[in-house]
Amino acid sequence: MIARSIASLASITVAAALCACGSAPRDERRPVAEAPVAAAPVPAYAQYGRVRDIEVVPVASRTSGGGAVLGAVLGAVVGNQIGSGTGRVAATGVGAVAGGVVGNQIERRNRRDDEIYRVSVRFDNGSVQSYDFQRVDDLRVGDRVKWEGGQLHRV
């Protein structure tokens, strides 16, 4: 009888635990679904102005980590060929660290530093805005421009 009660209590406990994991208690005061947030409307008109400044902004060069990983693997393989026993383990670790550092430096050297162009425009209403572009083609300081639909056009 006691064994049956314990088994029954254990099954109820397991069922309660499984139900508790299935869903969190619901707060009736909180709405089930939130209303979507509307995006800010893009102005349907164009703004005109003149290019005030164009500056080249270097983008920090980040490595992907692939060079470090490959270097660490190669360094560990080379380090594992040296010595025996505890010395071999130490050489493998040192080779992995040194290979990772060297591989990261090689990747950094082989990557091309990208640049962006920051174009400052003084609009006819007196405001000044800066925009970043991958290229500016033949745009020059003093050019008359139109900003429309997220694009800068020379007029």
- pLDDT tens digits, one per residue of 86-123: 888 887 888 788 888 888 777 777 665 567 899 999 99
Give the model's pLDDT for residue 119: 94
Confidence band for 43, pLDDT divided at 50, 70 and 90:
low
Give the model's pLDDT for residue 44: 58
Q: Does residue 6 register a pLDDT over 80?
A: no
Give the model's pLDDT for residue 86: 82
Give the model's pLDDT for residue 121: 95
Each residue of 122-145: b (16+ CB within 10 Å) or e? ebeeeeeeeeeeeebeebeeebeb
